[in-house]
Amino acid sequence: MDVGADNALLAMLPAAPRAALQPHVSRVSLVQRQILWNTSQPITDVLFPVTALVAIVGQADKGEDVEVAAVGRTGLVGLPAFLGDSHAAQAAVVQLPGEADRIAAAAFREVAAHQPDLRRVIHRFIQAFFTEAAQTAVCNCHHHAERRLARWLLTCQDRSGRAEFPLTHEFISQMLGMRRATVTGELGKLQTAGLIRATPGRVVLLDRAGLERLACECYRIISGEYHRLLGGEAR
Ligand SMILES: [Zn+2]
Q: What is the pLDDT of residues 111-151, one digit of tens each?
A: 999 999 999 999 999 999 999 999 999 999 999 999 999 99
Give dist(CA 132, CA 138) in Å, integer.
Answer: 10
* Cα 161 to averaged position of ligand 1 atoms, centre (Å): 22
Beta strand residue intervals within 105-232, DSSP E: 164-165, 196-199, 202-205
Low-confidence ranges of the chain (pLDDT < 70): 1-5, 62-63
**The pLDDT value given to residue 220:** 97
**The pLDDT value given to residue 65:** 84
Give dist(CA 85, CA 118) in Å, integer.
Answer: 18
* Cα 178 to averaged position of ligand 1 atoms, centre (Å): 14
* Cα 173 to averaged position of ligand 1 atoms, centre (Å): 16
User: With a threshold of 0.75, does the pTM exceed it?
Assistant: yes
**The pLDDT value given to residue 234:** 81
**The pLDDT value given to residue 5:** 57
* Cα 148 to averaged position of ligand 1 atoms, centre (Å): 5
